[in-house]
């Protein structure tokens, strides 16, 4: 009975949101004078119906898996990380820097792992800043991460330009092909032309490790306990501030590793704006995936399908219709996610001391208090 209830709580809200999005999509398609069945069939043919479409959505799902995991870890700790966009970019930039610094003679077997570690460190350092602000000074991580997005992205552009890293008259660094991850097409010829690469294997491994960390380790238990009830966790001996700091660093590192999908697996260089909103879309992936690593992977595939499908159906309806559907799904799911509800219910404590009551009034106020509790 308990397992059935848990399954219903985890799956039914998402299925309901998808059904609502399907109905909304049908209405939008009809408003453009098209047949919904024909449009949905074209979307499936353009995504899961051919190897190139599958390759493209796998490429997009890889980045979304990393950013979705980043947001999910933060939400598990009761933190809303809106900074995956800058953490993703910082990770890609650090990976490109290490790739350029290493000599070509090193080879990919050494260069690629070092670049992945550099990406995790770069994203983790960006996550460290709002983590310190929250743990040390109580600054809200939503404000800190939003503002940090602008600061980090501007800093990366300045560093690329002033450091002489950019190719003249372009917005990208010099390529480092010796630190490249092979495309899937190098093994599976059917994926020829797509951007899918073997960073997807890293994404799956990281998702599995994140699940193990959250549900099989002491630190994962402490992180989830803090996310559920910080005060109770503190009384239980858990250092809440340290846990928040650790959660933001891990969250940033996960997002940072997502930058390797583009930098190592696709272009072999860092390019301004390569994230393309994947950091923000990671919020939707985490919410639809119910902040569970397996759910995040499935949600990443879903949103990647919508993204690639929007290009496939552009001949019949505007591709912006997909963005509307994404918004409908997010709104329908967000209010059913426990972590989001807790964040929305959170209120600052009233610093003023309670008014003194007389002994006679104490008995009359006790009954309402117990009734409300």
Domain containing residue 89: CATH number: 1.10.3470
Check if the beta carbon of residue 61 is closer than 8 Å to that of residue 301.
Answer: yes
Cα 259 from Cα 270, distance rounded (Å): 9
| DSSP 8-state assignment for residue 349 | P
Residue 1's pLDDT is: 61
Show Cβ contacts of residue 181 under 8 Å, excluding neighbours closer than 6 positions.
108, 112, 197, 198, 199, 260, 264, 265
Task: Region of 229 please: left (phi>0), alpha (psi -120 to 50) or beta.
Answer: beta
Q: Note whether residue 137 is domain-resident.
A: yes
At 271 the three-state DSSP class reads strand
For 245, the domain range is: 19-26+34-344
Q: How many domains does the chain have?
A: 1
- Classify residue 5: in a domain, yes or no: no
**What H or E segment, with its residue span, contains residue 56?**
helix 51-76
- Tell me the torsion sign for CA atoms 143, 147, 148, 149: positive
Assess if residue 60 is contained within a domain: yes
Q: What number of other Cβ atoms are within 10 A of residue 234's Cβ?
A: 15
DSSP symbols for 153-206:
HHHHHHHHHHTT-BPTTSSBB---GGGPPPBGGGT-GGGTTS--BTHHHHHHHH
**Lookup: tokens for 97:** 């820097």
Q: Are 127 and 251 in contact (CB under 8 A)?
A: yes
Are the C-beta atoms of residues 106 and 95 closer than 8 Å to each other? no
Entry field: residues in the chain: 373
52 in a structural domain: yes
pLDDT at 12: 75
Looking up tokens 């372009």 gives 170
**What is the pLDDT, as a whole number, of residue 170?**
86
Lookup: tokens for 217: 């380790």
Long-range contacts of 335-338 (CB under 8 A, 24+ apart): 336/13, 336/17, 337/13, 337/75, 337/287, 337/290, 337/291
Q: What is the pLDDT of residue 208?
A: 98
Tokens of 316: 């019949």
Q: Is residue 91 part of a domain?
A: yes
Sign of CA dihedral 198, 204, 205, 207: positive
Query: What angle, 0 to 180 degrees and rounded to 10, lies between the N-to-C axes of helices 141-162 and 84-101?
Result: 30
pLDDT value for 163 = 84
Per 3-state DSSP, the chain is made up of helix, strand and coil in percentages (nearest 5) of 75, 0, 25
> Mean pLDDT of successive 10-residue segments in the chain (373 residues)?
63 79 91 92 94 96 98 96 96 96 93 97 98 94 95 94 86 91 95 96 98 96 95 94 97 98 96 91 92 95 93 87 85 68 54 46 39 39
pLDDT of residue 253: 98
Question: Would you state the pLDDT for residue 364?
Answer: 40
Angstrom distance (rounded) from CA 63 to CA 78: 23
């Amino acid at each position: 009975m308990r397992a059935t209830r848990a399954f219903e709580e985890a799956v039914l809200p998402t299925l309901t949101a998808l059904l609502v999005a399907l109905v909304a999509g049908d209405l939008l398609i009809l408003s453009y004078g098209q047949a919904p069945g024909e449009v949905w069939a074209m979307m499936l043919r353009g995504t899961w119906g051919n190897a190139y479409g599958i390759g493209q959505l796998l490429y997009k799902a890889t980045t979304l898996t990393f950013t979705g995991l980043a947001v999910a870890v933060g939400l598990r700790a009761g933190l809303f990380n809106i900074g995956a966009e800058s953490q993703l970019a910082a990770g890609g930039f650090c990976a490109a820097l290490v790739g350029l610094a290493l000599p070509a003679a090193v080879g990919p077997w050494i260069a690629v792992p070092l670049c992945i570690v550099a990406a995790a460190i770069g994203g983790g350092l960006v996550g460290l800043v709002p983590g310190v602000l929250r743990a040390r000074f109580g600054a809200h991580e939503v404000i800190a991460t939003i503002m940090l997005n602008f600061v980090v992205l501007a800093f990366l552009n300045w560093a690329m330009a002033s450091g002489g890293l950019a190719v003249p008259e372009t917005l990208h660094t010099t390529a480092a092909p010796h630190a490249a991850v092979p495309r899937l097409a190098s093994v599976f010829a059917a994926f020829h032309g797509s951007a899918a690469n073997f960073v997807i294997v890293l994404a799956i491994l990281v998702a599995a490790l994140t699940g193990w960390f959250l549900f099989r380790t002491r630190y994962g238990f402490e992180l989830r306990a803090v996310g559920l009830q910080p005060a109770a966790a503190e009384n239980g001996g858990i250092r809440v501030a340290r846990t928040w700091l650790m959660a933001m660093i891990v969250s940033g590192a996960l997002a940072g590793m997502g930058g390797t999908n583009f930098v190592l697996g696709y272009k072999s260089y860092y390019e301004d704006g390569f994230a393309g909103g994947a950091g923000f879309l990671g919020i939707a992936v985490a919410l639809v995936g119910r902040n569970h690593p397996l759910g995040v992977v499935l949600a990443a595939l879903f949103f990647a399908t919508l993204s690639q499908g929007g290009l496939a159906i552009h001949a019949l309806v505007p591709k912006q219709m997909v963005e509307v559907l994404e918004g409908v799904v997010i709104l329908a799911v967000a209010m059913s996610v426990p972590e989001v509800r807790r964040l929305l219910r959170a209120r600052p404590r009233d610093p003023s001391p309670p008014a003194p009551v007389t002994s006679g009034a104490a008995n009359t106020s006790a009954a309402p208090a117990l009734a409300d509790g």
